[in-house]
Amino acid sequence: MRHLDTLLGAGDAVDADVLTRMRQAAPELGADPHATVAAARDTERRAVERVAQVTAQARSGNRGAELDLAGAETEARHAAADARRMEEAYNRALREASLAALSDIRPMGPGADTMAVGGPDGDSKEAVKRSLQFLPTDWLSAAEELTVHPDGLTRGYYNVDLGEAALGSEGASVASAPTLDAQALHQLGHHMQHSIPDLAAASEAYHWLRTSTGRIGNRKRNTQVRLADRFPTRGHRADATARDGYWADLLAGMDARDGKSWQLLPVGLESLFSDSWYLDDDLRKFLFGALAVLGRRP
């Protein structure tokens, strides 16, 4: 636990540096860019809910609701446009500030002995190679070759025994991952934690911290939830489970049956660097700590 405290402390320092850089890069996001974009997304959500509510009232014959519907729809369109504008500025600032801050701490991206990326040429392989820039050079040197499956699959995967990954058609591989780059970062996250024991160990410790309650020495794990029950349209396996830890998305709290295949690093990487939305403030600090201090070569 002391090692985890040290990691989280390092992550807190990186997070503060990134916040300063984001304020400078995107002043329109205000003093707290994380809160600003969250508020914009919440406003959009409430506006969409309002449209659904008014629509239901109008269909039931409420004349006043019929008159209100056009205004509610206009408000929802404006809220959506504002949210997309804020998200674009936020994602760009977060990606650039994170990479710059981490690059001041350790070398990032491919080096002289970076792992090979094999497999046939195609969009999937190019997305994986492009995504290497966001990983510490030490990690890329320690990892074994990763073979990327040819394009054309509907759903992606990572197979540790074969050292193979596949990316699905846009947005089909990983829940809420909109691009091949996000999927590439997700699968690279799995490959890194299977290649570097410290990453899996830190993820297990942090997962335990977030999904347990009670005093140290008498902590109890939170109840397991079947992901297929919570998210029936995402295509999760029937035996895939997660534990609640007040995550932004429950997928982050997925259990690793093999003790290594945690989702914290994969979903964190795609959120930091490719516009997915799995991070909360605490998970972001864990991720920064892992990227800053773990897996350093002697």
In this predicted model, what pLDDT tens digit does every residue of 14-68 receive, in sequence order? 999 999 999 999 999 999 999 999 999 999 999 999 999 999 888 887 878 777 8
- Going by pLDDT thresholds of 50, 70 and 90, the confidence category of residue 187 is very high
Are residues 156 and 95 part of one domain?
no
Are residues 175 and 69 part of one domain?
no
Contact status, residue 265 vs residue 185, Cβ threshold 8 Å: no
The per-residue pLDDT for 22 is: 97
The per-residue pLDDT for 266 is: 95
Instruction: Give the residue-averaged pLDDT of 123-146.
Output: 95
The per-residue pLDDT for 286 is: 97
How far apart are alpha carbons 171 and 9 in whole angstroms?
34
Token output for 146: 């990763």
Contact status, residue 164 vs residue 222, Cβ threshold 8 Å: no
The per-residue pLDDT for 296 is: 87
Count how many domains the chain has. Answer: 2
Are residues 253 and 128 part of one domain?
yes
Q: Answer yes or no: is 109 within a domain.
A: no
pTM over 0.85: yes
Contact status, residue 136 vs residue 107, Cβ threshold 8 Å: yes
How far apart are alpha carbons 78 and 52 in whole angstroms?
16
Alpha carbon of 285 to those of 54, 135, 248, 251: distances in Å? 40, 16, 14, 18
Are residues 76 and 153 part of one domain?
no
Are residues 188 and 289 part of one domain?
yes
How far apart are alpha carbons 54 and 170 in whole angstroms?
34
Give tens-digit pLDDT for 218-269: 888 899 999 999 988 888 888 999 999 899 999 999 999 888 899 999 999 9
Give me the domain span that covers residue 65: 2-103
Q: Answer yes or no: is 298 within a domain.
A: no
Alpha carbon of 170 to those of 84, 120, 176, 194: distances in Å? 19, 18, 10, 25
The per-residue pLDDT for 235 is: 81
Alpha carbon of 124 to those of 127, 139, 187, 277: distances in Å? 5, 21, 11, 22
Nearest Cα to Cα of residue 294 among 193, 208, 146, 186 = 193
Are residues 167 and 57 part of one domain?
no
How far apart are alpha carbons 76 and 83 in whole angstroms?
10
- Going by pLDDT thresholds of 50, 70 and 90, the confidence category of residue 173 is very low
Of the three residues 103, 134, 163, the one that is the final residue of a domain is 103
The per-residue pLDDT for 174 is: 45
Give tens-digit pLDDT for 66-114: 778 889 999 999 999 999 999 999 999 999 999 999 999 999 999 989 9
Are residues 288 and 147 part of one domain?
yes
Looking at per-residue pLDDT, the higher value among 134 and 177 belongs to 134
The per-residue pLDDT for 257 is: 86
